[in-house]
Amino acid sequence: MIQPVKEKIILGIDPGTNIMGYGVLKVTGTRPQVMTLGVIDLRKCSDPYLKLKHIYERVQGVITSFLPDELAIEAPFFGKNVQSMLKLGRAQGVAIVAALCRDIPVTEYAPLKIKMAITGNGQASKEQVADMLKRMLHIPASEMGPFMDATDALAAAYCHYLQMGRPELPKAYSSWKDYIAKNPDKVKK
């Protein structure tokens, strides 16, 4: 009997207080495919608390539209400006809560780990990450958009896909002797 191909949808988020990126990756069996990528533009909202509300509502909207099974989110990196870190942490927290309110498990990845998973170089530029994703996932240039935040979010989702490991494929046997050798517990003596 053939087993149905397992499917998983991963939402990736690159948190930001001005531009927050998101990318949705659908994995069927071992094949990843981009469902969407985009940004939540928060630049016109000057009230920091209303920004958080907007982040929550928009992330909920993406979740409603694509029904992800898991969320992969980029961890804020330590910067010199404490206020910026605080704002970024709040934005990340709101996005995480939006997922948890829908019972979606969350995994956080350091920027270095994401870059390493995508390009093999933890110090890669945003442009290098975007270019590698474009080639690996066959994304047309027209869909890349002007903001690297969307491709950074997609990179978080793709990193998570790589961390999931490959689904176990059914065992293949060349003969009955091969089957018995690989499954001694299933043979009555």
φ, ψ of residue 31 in degrees (nearest 5) = -105, 110
The response to whether 41 counts as a known ligand-binding position is no
Among the listed residues 7, 47, 70, 149, the single catalytic one is: 149
41 is an active site residue: no
> pTM score, two decimals?
0.82
185 is an active site residue: no
- Averaged over 33-44, what is the pLDDT? 95
Torsion (CA) 26, 136, 141, 63 in degrees, nearest 10:
20
Going by pLDDT thresholds of 50, 70 and 90, the confidence category of residue 81 is: confident
Residue 29 has what DSSP assignment? T
CB 30 within 8 A of CB 19: no
The response to whether 14 counts as a known ligand-binding position is yes
CB 151 within 8 A of CB 130: yes
Domains of the chain, with CATH numbers?
7-186 (3.30.420.10)
From 29-33, 72-76, 166-170, the region with the lowest mean pLDDT: 166-170
